[in-house]
Structure 1
Amino acid sequence: MSLNRAVRRGTTAAAALSATAALCLFVPSSAAAGPSAVELPPPGAGFDYQIGGAYTPPQGVRIVSRDLGATPARGLYNLCYINAFQAQPGAEREWDADLLLRDASGDVVHDEDWDEAVLDIRTAAKRERIAAKVNRWIDSCADKGFQAVEPDNYDTYTRFPDHLKASQAKAFVSLLSAHAHDKGLAIAQKNTPDLAVDREETGLDFAVAEECGEWDECDMYADAFGDRVLVVEYSAKGLEKACAGWGDRLSVVRRDVGVAPEGASGHLRRTC
């Protein structure tokens, strides 16, 4: 999984639909238009971030993000977490060798914080091939009953500026947006506040923002996505700032860095 800056990650999750919540429908932008409207998360609703392991959602939660390998929470709005821009630890061999980003010496470029190989999205041809694999995961999300997909590591280009550009990240995520919409799924912008203003171009529907309170970035997401921003903080300070500035508008939760499931060592969950 991939968490923003010092924290980032999950494994790949599943989700279900909210029969009780009054959820709005959204017609995708032309950049990623699907055949029909998609269902968006209810603004400001209770949220839980379970990408490190699924457990019974606490009372008041209406939105849950889980790994692709998990089962959606019944009766809730579920996000399906996938690692879209980097290879999961140990999964490097599952990718064609030429789709792994390499440096001038021919060595695979790794995100050392998470021991993940970076995918090579620098050309249109490679973006299409990588998207074909990721889109099969999106198909699985739809088959399991998720309402939305959360593709992680949109911000990989910011960590490897010698190799990748923002324009390449936007071109790639636009392919995923188009496919998600074709499958009837909404798609989240994961982190990457500098690209929030480009949501119409990329076809992204709402945001999952890690530590936007901590780093004073929540306004950048809210300016682009309105009240449909799901905030995940990892510190008491971050939660306090997010709640003080945005707790009456956005969905805010604090989790432990390892996003451990309830009952596991280190598990922590707080809200405003």
Structure 2
Amino acid sequence: MPLRPAATRGLHAAAAAGALLLVAGCAPATDTPPPASASAPSSGEWALPPAGTGVDYQLGGAYEPAAGVGVVGRDRAAEPAPGIYSVCYVNGFQTQPGELETWDAALLLHRDGEVVFDPDWPDEALLDTSTADRRERIAAVVVPWIEGCADAGFDAVEFDNLDTYTRSDGALSLDDNLALATAFVDAAHDAGLAAGQKNSAEDAAVLHDDAGFDFAVTEECAVYEECEAYTEVYGEAVIDIEYADELPRSFAEMCADERSPASMVLRDRDLLTPADEGYVFEACPS
């Protein structure tokens, strides 16, 4: 699976307010969500990302999007891009860098008495989704972040690290993460936000059908030749980020490939801002 960018992501305080839903068997709330943004076709009462428009991915720092950009992804600590469909990044299944101490140790996955960390991101601990009680307590932390994305004016939220079960040495399962993902999606929809699957190509169908995800955000699906795993499930509602350090062919060729998503952007892996040396941004022609 592709690695996530080495961006320094902003942090919110982990609010431990009571969860609004039970994670073991979540049912959609009956409250009517607020109206969706008029910038895109809607699904339910939330707006989907506009298909085929220019995309920018700004987890490493917010800046004014280039002309023609219609979708921007930013960290939950940042403000959404004014007048542009904005996706809020939430690390829903691992701790954020620098955030470990804000979590109850009982909600972190342990093996032989030690906290389990992502082997590719050793400052991110895996959350323990293995029981309904722990999932409910994790949701009590994350759901306020989701609601904060809505309050800030974002149109959608993406949930990263859905696939922690694959690096848990059997301690977690797809069903565990699917139950928590369903709670997150329900919370997003209740807040009027579209919910985005992040990576996890092999689970796209079940995440869409069972958890209720509306669209997908993928990194390097063209490089790993797995874009169709997303587009077969989500159609045009797929946003792809490719990284300049691992292109097997020109980005123009990737854009022209009919298997590539219509919404695709080339970025530097650290997701730098235009003021930083090494910044890369290129959008596919509309």
- Root-mean-square deviation (CA), in Å? 1.9
Aligned counterpart in structure 2 of residue 270 of structure 1, from 250, 257, 282: 282
Consecutive unaligned residues of structure 1, counting only runs of 5 or more, are 28-36
Q: Give, as a single letter, the amino acid of the residue that structure 2 aligns with 1:45.
A: T
Shift of 1:249: 5.1
Q: Quick one: distance in 2 between partners of 1:220 and 1:112? A: 25
Are 2:119 and 1:112 aligned? yes
Q: Quick one: distance in 2 between partners of 1:59 and 1:18? A: 20
The residue number in structure 2 matching 1:225 is 234
> How do 1:135-146 residues align onto structure 2 when only pairs under 5 Å count?
135-146=143-154
Shift of 1:88: 1.1
> How do 1:47-196 residues align onto structure 2 when only pairs under 5 Å count?
47-103=55-111, 105-114=112-121, 115-196=123-204
> How do 1:4-43 residues align onto structure 2 when only pairs under 5 Å count?
5-8=2-5, 10=7, 11=9, 21=39, 23-27=40-44, 37-43=45-51
Shift of 1:9: 5.4
- Using the size of structure 1 for normalisation, the TM-score is 0.88
Are 2:248 and 1:237 aligned? yes
Q: Quick one: distance in 2 between partners of 1:148 and 1:64? A: 10
Deviation larger for 105-114 or 207-216: 105-114
Deviations 1:136-182 (A, max 9, x none): 10011011000100111112222224322111111111000000000
Q: Give, as a single letter, the amino acid of the residue that structure 1 aligns with 2:235.
A: G
Sort the Cα spacing of 1:52 and 1:90 in 2 relative to 1 into closer, same or farther, 3 A.
Answer: same
Shift of 1:18: 6.5
Shift of 1:52: 0.9
Shift of 1:89: 1.7
Shift of 1:8: 3.6
Is the CA contact (8 Å cut-off) linking 1:148 and 1:188 kept in structure 2? yes
Q: Give, as a single letter, the amino acid of the residue that structure 2 aligns with 1:139.
A: E
Q: Give, as a single letter, the amino acid of the residue that structure 1 aligns with 2:177.
A: A
Shift of 1:131: 1.0
> Matched residue of 2:257: which SS?
helix
Q: Give, as a single letter, the amino acid of the residue that structure 2 aligns with 1:221.
A: Y
Q: Quick one: distance in 2 between partners of 1:90 and 1:175? A: 25
Is the CA contact (8 Å cut-off) linking 2:239 and 2:261 kept in structure 1? no
> Matched residue of 1:119: which SS?
coil
Deviations 1:88-128 (A, max 9, x none): 1221111111100000x110001132221110001111111
Shift of 1:223: 0.5
> Matched residue of 2:218: which SS?
strand
Aligned counterpart in structure 1 of residue 222 of structure 2, from 198, 209, 213: 213
> Matched residue of 2:221: which SS?
coil
Deviations 1:70-95 (A, max 9, x none): 11111100000111111112211111
Deviations 1:42-63 (A, max 9, x none): 1111110001110110110000
Q: Quick one: distance in 1 between partners of 2:89 and 2:179? A: 20
Sort the Cα spacing of 1:6 and 1:142 in 2 relative to 1 into closer, same or farther, 3 A.
Answer: closer
Deviations 1:226-267 (A, max 9, x none): 001000011333745642324885200011110111111221
Consecutive unaligned residues of structure 2, counting only runs of 5 or more, are 12-35
Q: Quick one: distance in 2 between partners of 1:94 and 1:219? A: 38
Q: Give, as a single letter, the amino acid of the residue that structure 1 aligns with 2:280.
A: L
- Using the size of structure 2 for normalisation, the TM-score is 0.84
Aligned counterpart in structure 1 of residue 205 of structure 2, from 168, 175, 197: 197
